[in-house]
A and B are shown apart, each in its own frame.
Chain A
Amino acid sequence: MNAAALQMATKGAIRIQNVDKIYDPAGAAVQAVSDCTLDIRAGEICMIVGPSGCGKTTLLNAIAGFHDISGGAIYLDGEMLCGPDRPKAEPGPDRVVVFQNGALFPWKTNLENVAFGPVMQGKLSWSAAAEKARGMMADAGLTGVEHNYPGEISSGMRRRVEIVRALMNDPKVLLLDEPFRALDSLTKSVMHEALLEIYYRNKVTIFFITHDLEEAIFLGHRVAIMTTRPCRPKKILEVDIPHPRNYSVLTSPRFRALMEETVSAVHEEAVKAFEAGEKEM
């Protein structure tokens, strides 16, 4: 995906402007996000990296509209999602979240899960949605598990069903909250490949939170390294390795140089969190 193709993708640009978020559980005001400004270009994979419990998920929840922000504003393609007069954004199919521990509805078959979005919005009839869902699941290598329940397929396959379910609504942005954290390292590499293939086909902006530095550099156009709590971008790394990328990238000298740069940048933050015994927020 060279720079030209990036311009071509018009939708899904997120502008985060001096956003603050203060939780106050039982009065002890906790500052999760402080004066965070970040611009994510349309059609870009932006990786958000930082120590555990530093407020990354809070940022994602604010964009998705799960809770409000205490200050600043967030725009999607220029249109305000949430700001001073409207602290809480409305969740919608233009910004779909893929959750860390998965949120496939266990009581619906995989096909019913994938077709859920359009049917709920009344865009497609059940049969039309099922047809489109079967097609998209086939593209993601999920033929044959349509009528199983999520509990019956491997965790790698569950992840893919969830991503396909998100894409069924042609969202402008995919918000991923450490989606591959629970997978063992080799299944993770399957998911990287699958995600890239889906990305090349759908040109959707991806806001991806992770702890895994190798994953961040391998997938991302840009990597935003966040400070410990309260989180704000400490350094933004341009990953100038051309797309489409594959595993040979992992051993290339450019990748190692970027890896070194990220590890040292993140290391101080991680050790601070490690010493302070930060319990995961």
Chain B
Amino acid sequence: MSAPSLVATELRARIRPGELRVANVSKSYGDAQLRTDVVKDCSFTLERSKLTVMIGPSGCGKSTLIRLLAGFEKPDSGTITLNDAPVSGPARERLVLFQESALFPWMSTWDNILYGPRARGEMNREARGMAEFLLNKVGLKDFRKKYPMQLSGGMQRRAELARAMINNPAVMILDEPFRGLDAMTKELMWEYYSRLFEETRRTNFFVTTDIDEAIFLADRLLIMSNIPCHVRAVLEIDLPRPRTLIAMVENDRANEIKMQALSLLHEEAMKSFSRGSKAAADFVEAYSKRVTRA
């Protein structure tokens, strides 16, 4: 088994961060009179080696966009290209981490991590060395034989990250992965995940409804309109890395960006509020109280 450091440099050398471009993509569901446009000519670019975060009110079509990027569904119009090659179906280049864990409950952590190589018939000593390295990296060394049910929420997420990284995807897509965790574990995962990103510099696309999470993690912040969703604004987050919780709390620039993003989100929520969506109603009420008092 090659020494861990060797594997680390070898792993990092093989990373090919991809650039994913979305050009006026639209997608709608239902037929004839009940047709609802979920995504309407939406364009943005996931720049290479950047952590792009997408934030928008809940129910605005973010998950649909994720399914389009991952290749589970086809857009009605517009194109999605990865390094200028059109995206056809699900593939190892674009791997998704879902909101609820998708670890296979009937496989041990070790078998889960090695699922990709084994499925593609690339099961060899090198893949096992890689899995060993990643298992230590995510701190689950002595949980190798455990089933997902025996791991805590935070540990399941880390195991899933390892399962994705072993396939060396060009783009990592995460759909509100830390939503189910309690506030404390969530903040620890923010720190852990951004350190992991800084080490691998792989292109990451992170979707959330939590403004603090978005600002803590993002290089670029896409603020989405309400349904049908398209990019409303792009904010560059020029905060220094590596980022820590304590540093973020008293960083003025961070609070400034937070207020800017909130006002954009508020406008979007007002539109859908007039159209009577439950989630938006809660958001508008919360926001109006916060802004009027601040």
Chain A residues engaging chain B, CB cutoff 8 angstroms: 51-52, 141, 153-154, 156-157, 178, 181, 184-190, 193, 210-213, 215, 246-248, 251, 256, 259-260, 263-264, 266, 270-271, 274-275, 277-280
Which residue of chain B has its CB nearest to the CB of A157?
B282
Contact present for B283 and A187 (CB under 8 Å) = yes
Contact present for B139 and A186 (CB under 8 Å) = no
Contact present for B182 and A52 (CB under 8 Å) = yes
Contact present for B212 and A185 (CB under 8 Å) = yes
Contact present for B183 and A211 (CB under 8 Å) = yes
Contact present for A184 and B152 (CB under 8 Å) = no
Q: How far is the CB of A257 from chain B (nearest CB, A)?
A: 9
| Bound complex: CA A247 to CA B291 (Å) | 8
Q: Given contacts A256-B250, A275-B139, are A186 and B287 in contact (CB under 8 A)? A: yes
Contact present for B209 and A259 (CB under 8 Å) = no
Q: Mark B198-216, 1 if CB is under 8 A from A, else 0.
A: 0000000000011110000
A154-B281, A259-B249 given; 7 more Cβ-contact pairs under 8 Å = A52-B185, A153-B278, A154-B278, A188-B286, A189-B290, A190-B289, A247-B289
| Bound complex: CA A157 to CA B278 (Å) | 10
| Bound complex: CA A211 to CA B185 (Å) | 9
Residues of A within 8 A of B282 (CB): 154, 156-157, 186-187, 190
Q: Given contacts A154-B278, A187-B286, are A247 and B294 in contact (CB under 8 A)? A: yes
The residue in B184, B185, B287, B293 that gathers the most chain A C-beta atoms within 10 A of its C-beta is B184
Contact present for B184 and A52 (CB under 8 Å) = yes
| Bound complex: CA A263 to CA B250 (Å) | 13
* Tally of A-B Cβ pairs under 8 angstroms: 93
Contact present for B188 and A270 (CB under 8 Å) = yes
Tell me if B136 is interfacial: C-beta within 8 Å of chain A: no
Which residue of chain B has its CB nearest to the CB of A50?
B184
Contact present for B183 and A212 (CB under 8 Å) = yes
Residues of B within 8 A of A270 (CB): 184-185, 188
Contact present for B209 and A185 (CB under 8 Å) = yes
| Bound complex: CA A248 to CA B259 (Å) | 12
Q: How far is the CB of B76 from chain A (nearest CB, A)?
A: 29
Contact present for B143 and A277 (CB under 8 Å) = yes
Q: Which of B163-184 contact A (CB under 8 A)?
A: 179, 182-184
Q: Which of B135-155 contact A (CB under 8 A)?
A: 139, 143, 150-155
Which residue of chain A has its CB nearest to the CB of B290?
A247
Among candidates B139, B152, B285, B293, residue contacting A247 with C-beta atoms closer than 8 Å: B293
Which A-B residue pairs are the 7 nearest by beta carbons? Answer: A212-B183, A246-B293, A190-B286, A211-B182, A211-B183, A154-B278, A156-B282
Number of interface residues, chain B, beta carbon within 8 A: 36
Residues of A within 8 A of B183 (CB): 181, 210-213, 215
| Bound complex: CA A157 to CA B143 (Å) | 40
Contact present for B139 and A278 (CB under 8 Å) = no
Tell me if B81 is interfacial: C-beta within 8 Å of chain A: no
| Bound complex: CA A4 to CA B287 (Å) | 32
Tell me if B123 is interfacial: C-beta within 8 Å of chain A: no
Q: Given contacts A181-B182, A212-B183, are A256 and B286 in contact (CB under 8 A)? A: no
Which residue of chain A has its CB nearest to the CB of B58?
A184
Q: Which of B199-247 contact A (CB under 8 A)?
A: 209-212, 245-246
Residues of B within 8 A of A141 (CB): 285
Tell me if B255 is interfacial: C-beta within 8 Å of chain A: yes
Contact present for B210 and A185 (CB under 8 Å) = yes
| Bound complex: CA A264 to CA B289 (Å) | 30
Contact present for B151 and A274 (CB under 8 Å) = no
Which residue of chain A has its CB nearest to the CB of B283?
A186
Q: How far is the CB of B180 from chain A (nearest CB, A)?
A: 9
Residues of A within 8 A of B210 (CB): 184-185
Contact present for B184 and A279 (CB under 8 Å) = no
Contact present for B294 and A248 (CB under 8 Å) = yes
Q: Which of B89-110 contact A (CB under 8 A)?
A: none
Pull 15 A–B residue pairs with CB atoms less than 8 Å apart, ordered by A.
Answer: A185-B210, A186-B283, A189-B286, A189-B290, A193-B289, A211-B182, A211-B185, A246-B289, A247-B290, A251-B294, A259-B249, A271-B188, A274-B185, A277-B143, A277-B155
Tell me if B279 is interfacial: C-beta within 8 Å of chain A: yes
| Bound complex: CA A51 to CA B182 (Å) | 9
| Bound complex: CA A188 to CA B287 (Å) | 11
| Bound complex: CA A91 to CA B144 (Å) | 44
